[in-house]
Structure 1
Amino acid sequence: MKAAFNKMGRQLTKLWFDRVTITGVETVKDGAFTDTVPVVIVENEPAKVILKGLKASEQTFFGTDAYDAKLLIRNGLKIPAGATVDVTDVNGQVTHYKRASKGYAGYVSHQEVAMVRDEKASEEVE
């Protein structure tokens, strides 16, 4: 039965048209000092973003653009909690998610990452 789900996982990614770059941090020592540097975990990886809780009535007067989303991505990637995710959708629009959960790889075909977009709205009218 698991073999059928493995085949499904390989086919599932062909239906995902979003492309993601996921960045985490790595600890480095410089003499007596310890610092963190950004590290790209995966770049231009096919994935699918599912929006959750995106209601116009919940947007505030102060112009924030905040909502929860879920990222579907292939298994085999180690996605740490706190990673940042940049998503380029099928139309070429890039969305930056500031906070992400650790990847939940409990499914045979894919893993899920909960994400939050919480930014000041800065869309300009053309």
Structure 2
Amino acid sequence: MPIANCKRCGRLYNRAGRDICPECIRQEDAVLLEIRQYLKKHPQANIYEVAEGTNATYEEIVEFLRDGRLILRDNPNMAYPCERCGTLTQSGRLCANCTQVMAKGLGHATATLHRDETQGKRGKGFLSR
């Protein structure tokens, strides 16, 4: 196993997939559990209220949401800005509109690459499948 420094505390640890050490993982899990318990008691709370009522920061809560570690089903006020346009969203890194725009652009780029490949045009670089 590779040895790495923990992203949060700087300690050395045997890296097994995450960028933080086992102790910081335990601390994160405890904070995540506290957030979930708070949301069960206060389903109408927003991110700022949750941060104030728990040991979590606004940034930690948003990161849990973006990473999918905190899933909101019954908490309509837990919204944070989309990384692309700033519109409020409740899951992932992008809002629904930006996700559609990105998917459409990716589809168009894929179709263009496929068309160029089938017509014998060679671009710069490699296309792997």
Which bracket does the TM-score occupy, shorter chain normalised? under 0.3
**TM-score w.r.t. length of structure 1:** 0.24
Tell me which protein shows more strand as a share of its residues: 1
Tell me which protein shows more helix as a share of its residues: 2
**TM-score w.r.t. length of structure 2:** 0.24
When Rg is computed on C-alpha atoms for both structures, the one with the higher figure is 2
